[in-house]
Amino acid sequence: MRILLSNDDGIFAPGIMAMHNELAKIADVQVVAPANVQSGGSHAITIRHPVAWRNVDVNGTFRGVCVEGTPADCVKLALGGLDGRKPDLVVSGINAGLNTGIHVLYSGTVAAAIEGAILGLPAVAVSLQLYRDMDYAGAAVIARGLIEEIIQRELHPREVWNINIPENKPGWPRGVRVVPQSIQPTLDRLEKRIDPTGREYYWLGGDFGELSDAHDTDLRAVREGYVSITPLQFNLTDTGRLERARAWTWELPGPAGA
């Protein structure tokens, strides 16, 4: 088994180190990750600048490829540019902070996994709730176990699994729930401020920690102390509406003035 490991917090982040150390027990792990923090960068790719990379030693623990680019760039580079055997699986994380609900769409962690899926591989994104003294090592043990289960059951190309792990407090995690992604909007807080030259600007904040959900979703499962697992797809087509819209008669408008 060969695993490509990436993230959006950068190659020197504690989460990717913990994930590397656990995955190395079950696979040959290649790390290709951004040089800088790319959180909230979603599925951006670098097309107007060159994408530089270099081999780095990460805290004497592993060697990896450090990329001056986005998470999606890293996966593209790993699967297309760097030489080496094709991996069997792409893993992204462990992210510092949950990627539940609509955060899935803002997430660079999930984007790296999705990029792997677009390029024909199975992929897993792993995120850990933000809290004091985050236990990445413990989360990595949980994630590795779940990844092993996925490998044993079904590892299909182009399929993404999104795993979110709650904070480590007594009795947590209480179990695993397979749940859909929440579609609740984030509780944004737009703070209007004035810069030293007198211009107005906004600072986008928000108390993401207070979100929950009336439905049984990833957001709620993690709030209730469970590890959430959500199967994701990157094909955004609404198939129900596709069928309905196909049954309509669509006509281009005639020439102006006719």
Q: What are phi and psi of 110, to 5 degrees?
A: -65, -35
- Comparing CB distances to Mn ion, the nearer of 14 and 225 is 14
- Comparing CB distances to Mn ion, the nearer of 92 and 182 is 92
Q: Which residues bind Mn ion (CB under 5 A)?
A: 8-9, 39, 95
- Comparing CB distances to Mn ion, the nearer of 9 and 167 is 9
Question: Least distance to Mn ion from the beta carbon of 94, Å?
Answer: 9
For residues 102-124, one letter each, b for 16 or more C-beta atoms within 10 angstroms of the residue's C-beta and e for the rest, the string is: bbbebbbbbbbbbbbbbbebbbb
- Comparing CB distances to Mn ion, the nearer of 110 and 221 is 110
Beta bridge partners of 127: 95, 164
Q: Residue 251 and residue 258: Cα distance in Å, rounded? A: 15
Question: Least distance to Mn ion from the beta carbon of 143, Å?
Answer: 15
Question: Least distance to Mn ion from the beta carbon of 28, Å?
Answer: 25
Q: Residue 242 and residue 235: Cα distance in Å, rounded? A: 13
- Comparing CB distances to Mn ion, the nearer of 157 and 209 is 209
Residue position matching structure tokens 């990157």: 234
Strands 200-206 and 123-128, how do they pair? unpaired
- Comparing CB distances to Mn ion, the nearer of 9 and 22 is 9
The sign one gets for the Cα dihedral 19, 20, 26, 28 is positive
- Comparing CB distances to Mn ion, the nearer of 137 and 151 is 137
Q: Residue 131 and residue 26: Cα distance in Å, rounded? A: 28
Element (H, E) at 64: strand 62-67
Question: Least distance to Mn ion from the beta carbon of 3, Å?
Answer: 19
Question: Least distance to Mn ion from the beta carbon of 96, Å?
Answer: 6
Q: Residue 239 and residue 34: Cα distance in Å, rounded? A: 35
Question: Least distance to Mn ion from the beta carbon of 95, Å?
Answer: 4
Question: Least distance to Mn ion from the beta carbon of 40, Å?
Answer: 7
CA-closest candidate to residue 95, choices 58, 140, 132, 51: 140
Q: Output the residue with the shortest Cβ distance to Mn ion.
A: 39
